[in-house]
Amino acid sequence: MDSLKSWGIHYISNREIAPNDAVMFDIDDTLIFTNGEPNKPIIELLHESLGMTYKIIIITARPPLDHNIERTIKQLYEYGIPYDYIGFSSPLTKGIMKQQLPYNFILSVGDMPTDLTDSEHVLNISNFFHS
């Protein structure tokens, strides 16, 4: 994961950052593993992105039920994961959500192809692909 973190920093560094430039993160098996452990290098990438003034956008395929939203927000808080926007969307509509949001996605980080649409650069946690 440290290698992916380094590539992520490479993709978002050394460029002029516009006010609506954003980095998008998935939650499950991206920021937080399914066993509940944090993915520390990717959380560090999130904090680096925030420090560079990128907007932090989290889009998850977790169902948008009230108790689930509350649990998700609490979990992100407990892991010290800040965000500017959190969206709940089915995997197949994540790209549509990105297109409708007022952000320019410079980097998307996730474990599924549906996490990695509509972005200049991508980091795929599941196979370590990046571009």
DSSP secondary structure of 12-32: HSSSPPPTTEEEEE-TBTTTB
The pLDDT, as a whole number, for residue 1 is 86
Within a domain: 50: yes
The pLDDT, as a whole number, for residue 119 is 98
Within a domain: 54: yes
Write the CATH number for 52.
3.40.50.1000
Within a domain: 27: yes
The pLDDT, as a whole number, for residue 75 is 95
One digit per residue, the tens of pLDDT, for the chain of length 131 reads 899 999 999 999 989 999 999 999 999 999 999 999 999 999 999 999 999 999 999 999 999 989 999 999 999 999 999 999 999 999 999 999 999 999 999 999 999 999 999 999 999 999 999 99
Number of domains observed in the structure of the chain = 1
| Biggest CA pair distance of the chain | 41
Within a domain: 16: no
Q: Strands of 55-60's sheet, edge to edge?
A: 85-88, 55-60, 21-25, 104-110, 121-124
Which residue range(s) make up the domain with 73?
Answer: 2-10+22-124
The pLDDT, as a whole number, for residue 92 is 93
User: What distance in Å separates the CA atoms of residue 118 and residue 95, rounded to the nearest whole number?
Assistant: 6
Within a domain: 106: yes
Within a domain: 130: no
Strand 121-124 relative to strand 104-110, pairing: parallel
Query: What is the distance in angstroms between the CA of the first residue and the CA of the last residue of the chain?
Result: 15
Within a domain: 129: no
Within a domain: 17: no
**CA count, 13 A, side-chain hemisphere, 32:** 18
Residue 120: closest CA among 101, 107, 103: 107
Residue 57: closest CA among 46, 48, 67, 68: 46
